[in-house]
Amino acid sequence: MIDKKLEKRLVEIEANNALALGRLNGIASLVIVMGRNLPSDIAAKCAVYTRELIRHVEADLVASNKPDVMVNEIQRIIQEGISVFEAAAGMKNADKS
């Protein structure tokens, strides 16, 4: 049987995890909505800058000891942001990395 102290701690961790995920999803949604509504010239610049950023971030992530699932999700979210910027800019390669 699980110790009451451990059970309480597990409930706290699950609540904190749910809160963090909710905040992250809210921020991601906000950024996507903002990115979709940028003027095309600004969206194009954001796409270029974010592509440069991801090269540096990927190098840092490869060198880190973060779990693969975390690294993959970070890369996926950044790529999604790039796609949003490219679509807002009307760039032809909007879905290509």
- Rg value, the chain, Cα: 18
Rounded to whole angstroms, the Cα distance separating 65 from 57 reads: 14
Q: What is the pTM of this model?
A: 0.75
Rounded to whole angstroms, the Cα distance separating 83 from 51 reads: 10
For the stretch 15-71, pLDDT in tens is 999 999 999 999 999 999 999 999 999 999 999 999 998 888 888 988 898 899 988
Rounded to whole angstroms, the Cα distance separating 35 from 11 reads: 36
Q: Cα 79 vs. chain centroid, distance in angstroms?
A: 8
Q: Specify the pLDDT at position 1.
A: 61
Q: Specify the pLDDT at position 97.
A: 43
Instruction: Write down the domain spans for the chain.
Output: 4-89
Q: Specify the pLDDT at position 61.
A: 87
Q: Using the Cα atoms of residue 14, residue 15, residue 17 and residue 18 in order, give the sign of their dihedral.
A: positive
